[in-house]
Chain A
Amino acid sequence: AQRVTQPEKLLSVFKGAPVELKCNYSYSGSPELFWYVQYSRQRLQLLLRHISRESIKGFTADLNKGETSFHLKKPFAQEEDSAMYYCALSGYNQGGKLIFGQGTELSVKP
Chain B
Amino acid sequence: DGGITQSPKYLFRKEGQNVTLSCEQNLNHDAMYWYRQDPGQGLRLIYYSQIVNDFQKGDIAEGYSVSREKKESFPLTVTSAQKNPTAFYLCASSLQGTSNQPQHFGDGTRLSIL
* Residue positions of A touching B, CB distance < 8 A: 4, 6, 9, 31-32, 34, 43-46, 49, 51, 86, 90-103
Contact = CB atoms under 8 A, between A and B. Distances in A.
B96 A96 contact: yes
A5 to B, nearest CB: 10
Given A86-B42, A102-B40, A95 B48 contact: yes
Nearest to B58: A97
Interface residues of B, number: 29
Contacts of B108: 43
A62 to B, nearest CB: 17
Interface in B18-37: 31, 33, 35
Contacts of B103: 46, 96, 98
B105 A97 contact: no
Contacts of B109: none
